[in-house]
Amino acid sequence: MLNITVDVPEINVMINTKIFKCSSCDYECKRKSKLLDHMLVHSDTKLLKCTECTYESNYKSNLKVHTHVKTP
């Protein structure tokens, strides 16, 4: 008698992995919190502007990194 066992690949794991997609662009991520964070990019409400140039960012951290290095 032949005993055949079929291994089911763990495809389900990949299918069950929820991917959150941004409705305004192609951005994708696996965490909802990350997507919400990203959504700020498409929002004008929290736009932070550099006081020395026209640079704009929705992230405070980005604005912090963006600094004007003044050469002496």
* Contact window for Zn ion (CB under 5 A) among 2-10, 11-19, 29-37, 51-59: 51-59
Residue 49 neighbours by CB under 8 Å, 6+ apart? 55, 56
Report the site for Zn ion in 21-50 (rule: CB under 5 A): 22, 24-25, 27, 50
HSE of 9 in the Cβ direction (CA atoms, 13 Å)?
3
Q: Does residue 29 sit in helix, strand or coil?
A: strand
Q: Considering only residues 28, 37, 52, 56, which one is a binding residue for Zn ion as defined by CB under 5 A?
A: 52
From the CB of 3, what's the least distance to Zn ion, in Å? 52
